[in-house]
Amino acid sequence: MSVYKDEKQKTWYVSVRYTDWRGEKTRKVKRGFKTKREALEWEQSFLNENCGNLEMTFGEFVDVYEENLKDRLRQSTWQTKVSIIESKILPYFRKKRMIDIRPSDVVAWQNKLMSFKDENGEHYSPVYLKTIHNQLSAIFNHAMRFYDLPSNPALKAGNMGKEKTHEMLFWTKEEYLKFSEAIMDKPISFYAFEMLYWCGLRLGEMLALTPADFDFESKVVRINKSCQRINGEDIITDPKTPKSIRKIQMPDFLADEMKDYFDSIYALSPDQRIFPLSKSYMHHEMTRGSNLAGVKRIRIHDLRHSHVSLLIELGFGAVAIADRVGHESIDITYRYAHLFPTTQKAIAEKLDLERS
């Protein structure tokens, strides 16, 4: 027995010996439980997490999964995972033991989701279905990697839905200039979009900017954080990837514009967000400006594509562009290959000259 009564304190405590993940035998003591039942529940949870006992239920393993991963992920990323797990996965698998879940269980779960219709009679989109399945598969992969689950039943069952396939849209410089002129009636909108287009920033990166990020002497803006809306609050988080931390050289005209903007803000402090806007406001302004300018409506993220397209047109290579926008150069080469001037025909002609 590993649960005991502390007669002096009138509480219960756990003293349990176990073999940890390194194969070493050790002991854990936990005191202060009001009832024996609480102590037993804590003991079982502790052993599940530290000994990799996959006789635990799926719901219990999700708690282990959270304990292992929550502090390693951006808060916004974790919130997205939690939403999917709690609403789409746990209701079906919560009480099933991890070792008992079979590919057939996953297929039955998939069929329920694919046949679901909302109050408007609409099914879940193929992209959303794939996102849900990928999260279930990620949980089983975690169990395989760290807790010796023999196989991933979600992988064996096969995926559902399909990958996101957004058409890559972008504005030409002329289209953007028409747009920017149309939104000049709202200075905060104008300057926000100037930073997005001429620096190729992500929306969260732009929303997190403060005066301390600008060095007007060298005309450089520092990107080292992002602003995300989480549970109704604006939260400053780390950037999307380590590569996202970078310094961007601003063109002279943009540096001058931003200095003018700073001068227009009363009592601006170094750590104050210069664009205290919501993403919904930015989307509204994108629509308003597009309509006024008579240009096609693109997504805000497509301004980043527009910046890359402009740099390619100006003759810059993948490495330089990747450094500026916070990507790996291989990603730039792959995603924007169709925009680079070297074509398959030109390659063939070069090889033909080498052969002759």
* pLDDT confidence of residue 163: 62
- How long, in residues, is the chain? 356
pLDDT tens-digit series, residues 221-276: 999 999 988 777 888 888 878 888 999 999 999 999 999 999 999 889 999 999 99
* pLDDT confidence of residue 52: 56
Please answer whether residues 327 and 243 qualify as being in contact, where contact means their C-beta atoms are separated by less than 8 angstroms.
yes
Q: Higher pLDDT residue, 281 or 348?
A: 281
* pLDDT confidence of residue 18: 67
* pLDDT confidence of residue 105: 94
How many other C-beta atoms lie within 10 A of the C-beta of residue 274?
22
**Crossing angle between the packed helical segments 187-199 and 173-182, to the nearest 10 degrees:** 160
* pLDDT confidence of residue 167: 64
Q: Higher pLDDT residue, 27 or 205?
A: 205
The torsion angles phi and psi of 327, rounded to 5 degrees, stand at -120, 170
pLDDT at residue 134 tops 60? yes
* Rounded Cα distance, 33 and 221, in Å: 53
* pLDDT confidence of residue 166: 55
The torsion angles phi and psi of 97, rounded to 5 degrees, stand at -70, 145
* pLDDT confidence of residue 24: 64
Q: Higher pLDDT residue, 157 or 39?
A: 157
* Rounded Cα distance, 109 and 53, in Å: 24
pLDDT tens-digit series, residues 273-305: 999 999 999 999 999 999 999 999 999 999 999
Task: Please give the average per-residue pLDDT across 204-230, as a whole number.
Answer: 94
* pLDDT confidence of residue 40: 82
pLDDT at residue 50 tops 70? no
* pLDDT confidence of residue 21: 46
Mean pLDDT of the chain: 86
Q: What percent of the chain has pLDDT over 90?
A: 48
pLDDT tens-digit series, residues 5-45: 888 888 988 887 766 545 567 778 888 888 888 888 887 77
- Which own/partner pairs from 18-26 qualify as long-range (CB within 8 Å, at least 24 positions apart)? 18/47, 18/50, 18/51, 19/51, 20/50, 20/51, 21/50, 21/52, 21/146
Residue 44 CA to chain centroid, in angstroms? 33
- Of 298, 295, 302, nearest in space to 181 by CA: 295
